[in-house]
Structure 1
Amino acid sequence: MSSNQPTVLVIDDEAQIRKFLRISLVAKGYKVIESADGSDGLAQAALGKPDMVVLDLGLPDMDGQQVLRELREWSQVPVLVLSVRAGEGDKVTALDAGANDYMTKPFGIQEFLARVRVLLRQAGSGELAAAVINSGPLSVDFAYRRVTLDGSEVALTRKEYAVLAVLARHLGRVVTQQHLLKDVWGASHADDSHYLRVVIGHLRQKLGDDPAAPRFIITEAGVGYRLLEH
C-alpha cells in the first residue's frame, strides 16, 4: 500500500453517494476510483489494485454479495460494505463472505472515515499479526495468553480469553456471532448464541465495561461484536 496516497475503490450506483465519498476521502489524502456497477467494480479492483473497497449491495447488474464472493476468489483487499440493508441476514452474509466491516446508510462521515483508517492501517502495517494488541488501556498478549488493563493483569477463564483474543485479532472490525461460536466452541455450537452472551457479559464485568457506554466491546445488534480501536 502506498504510504502517501492509499487508493479507495467505491462501488456504488448512486452518483451522489460516490461524489460525497470522493470529496470526503480526497480531503483526507486518499485517491478514489469509482464504479457504478458490480462487473465494472470487479474489473476496477483488478486493474486499479486499490488498497481497500467500499461496496454497496444494491447494484444494478449484480448483487453486492455476489461481487464480494467473486472478489474473494482472488483478492483479500479490505472491503467495507456500505448499504441501506440493515437486516441481520444481510450483515451476517456479507461478513461471513469476507467483508471486513459493514455500515448502514444513512451513515456518519466521521465514523466512516474512522473505519476506513482502521482497515487501511491493519492491511498496511501487519497489525493483525502482532504479538500484542492494544485497545486503549486494554492489552492482549498472545504469546503469554495474558490480558492487562491499566497495567494490571485481568484473570480470565479459557473461554473468556479465547473470545477476547478473536475480537482483538479483528480489532476495530465486526466479528459475527457465528464466527466467534465456531472459533471458540466449535462448529457444532454455531447457533448457541447464549454461550457467547454469557461470556461477553463476564468479560464486560471484569473489564469494567458499561454496555450502555462501552470503552472496549461494542455490540452490533443481531450480528456480533467489535473491539474498539483507541
Structure 2
Amino acid sequence: MGERAGGKPEARVLVVDDEAAITELVGLALRYEGFEVATASTGREALAKNAEFAPDLAVLDVMLPDYTGLEVCSRLRSQGVRLPVVFLTARDATEDKVNGLTVGGDDYVTKPFALDELIARIRAVLRRTRPDLEDARLEFADLVVDEDAHEARRSGVPLDLTPTEFKLLRYLLLNAGRVVSKAQILDHVWQYDFGGGDNVVETYISYLRKKVDKDREPLIHTVRGVGYTLRLPKD
C-alpha cells in the first residue's frame, strides 16, 4: 500500500453501483484524491471484492440488481466484518436513511450528489473509524493544510487563500512529489463540467506561488510540457 502526503497510507475504497458511469466517475475522483479504488456492480460482486480487496470503506448503492445495499451490509455485519459504509440512495426518504443506519451504515448520500460532498463524507467517516488512515492535516516540508479548519500555513505563518486556491493547494499536497497535468487539476479543482480553458490553471498556480512561495524556498514547480508538482527544490 502506498503513502500520501504526511506519511499516511492510502485508504482503500470499494465503490459499488450498477451504473457504470457512477462507478467510473467516483472511482476517478477518489484516485485523484490519493485513494486506492476497486469497483463492483452487484451485491455478490461486492461481497467477493470485499474479501479480495480488503477495503477500508465501501460506497454502497442501496438499489442493486441482486442484493440490495442494505442486504450486503447486513451480510457483512453477520460475518463480523465492521467495514465502514457510505450508502448511495436515489430516494430521499427518511425510511431509507433510518434503515441504512440501522443495518450498520455510517452515512448516506442522496443521488444526485456532488463529488466534493461524497468525498467529504468519506473522509469524515474514515476520520471517525480509521484515524490511522485519514487525517485532517496534510503536511509537506514546512507547509501545512488543515482541512477541518480550512487553514493553510507555511513556516507557521497563515496563508490568506481563496476557496479555489485552497482546493488547488490541497490537491498539490495530496499528490506531493507527483506531476499532475492541467487536465487533472481542472477535473479536481474546477470539477468535470468546467467549460473554460486550461489557462485558468496557469493563472491560479501563479496566484498560489505568490502566497505560498513568496520570499521562501519554492515548493511549487512547473514541469514543462507535463504539468505541476509540489516538491523541494533540486540541488
Distance 2:36 2:132 in 1: 22
- 1:4 to partner: Cα distance: 2.5
Distance 2:92 2:22 in 1: 17
Distance 1:28 1:126 in 2: 17
* SS in structure 2 of the partner of residue 117 of structure 1: helix
Specify the alignment match of 1:88 in structure 2: 94
- 1:126 to partner: Cα distance: 7.2
Alpha-carbon RMSD = 2.0
1:105 pairs with one of 96, 102, 111: 111
Matched, 1:42 2:37: no
Specify the alignment match of 1:70 in structure 2: 75
Is there any run of 5+ residues in structure 2 with no aligned partner, and where? 3-7, 134-147, 150-235
Distance 2:51 2:124 in 1: 23
Distance 2:75 2:11 in 1: 23
Counting only pairs closer than 5 Å after superposition, residues 215-230 of structure 1 correspond to structure 2 as none
Structure-2-length-normalised TM-score? 0.52
Identity of aligned residues (%): 38
- 1:36 to partner: Cα distance: 0.5
Matched, 1:8 2:13: yes
Distance 1:125 1:60 in 2: 33
Distance 2:12 2:60 in 1: 14
Distance 1:18 1:29 in 2: 16
Distance 1:62 1:47 in 2: 19
Residues 38-84 of structure 1, C-alpha deviation per residue, up to 9 Å, x if partnerless?
01101111221101000001101111111111111221111000110
* SS in structure 2 of the partner of residue 62 of structure 1: coil
* SS in structure 2 of the partner of residue 24 of structure 1: helix
Aligned amino acid, residue 52 of structure 2: L
1:122 pairs with one of 118, 128, 148: 128
Deviation >4 Å, runs of 4+: none
Aligned amino acid, residue 73 of structure 2: L
Matched, 1:20 2:30: no
Distance 1:26 1:32 in 2: 7
Specify the alignment match of 2:161 in structure 1: none
Counting only pairs closer than 5 Å after superposition, residues 133-212 of structure 1 correspond to structure 2 as none
Distance 1:68 1:4 in 2: 25
Distance 2:118 2:55 in 1: 17
Distance 2:12 2:42 in 1: 18
Aligned amino acid, residue 66 of structure 2: D
Aligned amino acid, residue 84 of structure 1: A
- 1:120 to partner: Cα distance: 1.5
Is there any run of 5+ residues in structure 1 with no aligned partner, and where? 128-134, 137-230
Aligned amino acid, residue 83 of structure 1: T
Residues 90-134 of structure 1, C-alpha deviation per residue, up to 9 Å, x if partnerless?
11011111000011000011111111111122222279xxxxxxx
* SS in structure 2 of the partner of residue 125 of structure 1: coil
Structure-1-length-normalised TM-score? 0.53
Distance 2:20 2:37 in 1: 14
Distance 2:130 2:30 in 1: 18
Distance 1:110 1:53 in 2: 17
